[in-house]
Amino acid sequence: AQSVTQLGSHVSVSEGALVLLRCNYSSSVPPYLFWYVQYPNQGLQLLLKYTSAATLVKGINGFEAEFKKSETSFHLTKPSAHMSDAAEYFCAVSETGANSKLTFGKGITLSVRP
Amino acid sequence: KAGVTQTPRYLIKTRGQQVTLSCSPISGHRSVSWYQQTPGQGLQFLFEYFSETQRNKGNFPGRFSGRQFSNSRSEMNVSTLELGDSALYLCASSLYRGENYGYTFGSGTRLTVV
């Protein structure tokens, strides 16, 4: 069975500081991994995805994530936080094959201080 | 091109009633999945439809059902509503079944059961 762990429920950074949101996964088969962002009263927007190509994945809005199989991690980073990055971030895993459902982590709320 | 459209955006129902939510996927997308989002349980997979057939189902009671039409539009139905069914219901579409290249989510239907 697949699962995702996002440590902590809230991260606060200053504007211009590094953003690091952690995600660890568990999967019995090679996984597909995703980061989604959710702004208040909206749906989920795909930030980036890992689909077994390059281990360093670049996404929208300056975010990137690195797949580390040995650590079963897929942490999300952004070099310089912007006020508009304040939102809730979800890491998700999907297994290859017919079972394509997404299993989400609990989510992390990112606050950006001026 | 138009995104995933969910209607209605907000809904208030009374315990014991039933409700039907609608999802129109991105044009050409054939797979539609539904997720429930609550503060306590987070994002949970409900079911997936492809070519008018339910292909995968999450761990929800039989009161939750759905269907997909020939134009790929999908509806989900919840009968005998309970207070705990209050949630944001998200629909996601993708081009093919098992396509793990990222699902596009709608803005959701917020259901409140009173």
User: How confident is the model over A16-31, as pLDDT tens digits?
Assistant: 999 999 999 998 777 8
| Contact flag B43-A104 (C-beta cutoff 8 Å) | yes
How far apart CA B82 and CA A28 sit, in angstroms, is 35
How far apart CA B103 and CA B55 sit, in angstroms, is 16
Give residue B18's pLDDT. 98
Give residue B99's pLDDT. 53
- Kindly report the nearest CA distance between residue A75 and chain B, in angstroms: 17
- Whether the CB of B99 is below 8 Å from some CB of chain A: the reply is yes
Interface residues on A facing B, Cβ-Cβ cutoff 8 A: 32, 34, 36, 41-46, 49, 51, 90, 92, 94, 96-107
Give residue A94's pLDDT. 84
Q: Are B66 and B49 in contact (CB under 8 A)?
A: yes
Strands B10-13 and B109-113 turn out to be parallel
Give residue A8's pLDDT. 87
- Residues A67-96 have a mean pLDDT of 93
> Which residues on chain A are in Cβ contact (under 8 Å) with B44?
104
How far apart CA B56 and CA A56 sit, in angstroms, is 31
Q: For residue B12, what are its two tokens?
A: 């208030």
- Please give the residue of chain A at the shortest CA–CA distance from B98: A100
pLDDT band at B97 (very low <50, low <70, confident <90, very high): low
How far apart CA B94 and CA B2 sit, in angstroms, is 13
Dihedral sign of CA atoms B39, A87, B29, A25 in order: negative
Higher-confidence position of A16 and A53 = A16
Give residue A84's pLDDT. 96
Q: Which of A39, A63, A59, A37 is nearest to A49 (CA)?
A: A59
pLDDT band at B89 (very low <50, low <70, confident <90, very high): very high
The CA radius of gyration of chain A, in Å to the nearest whole number, is 14
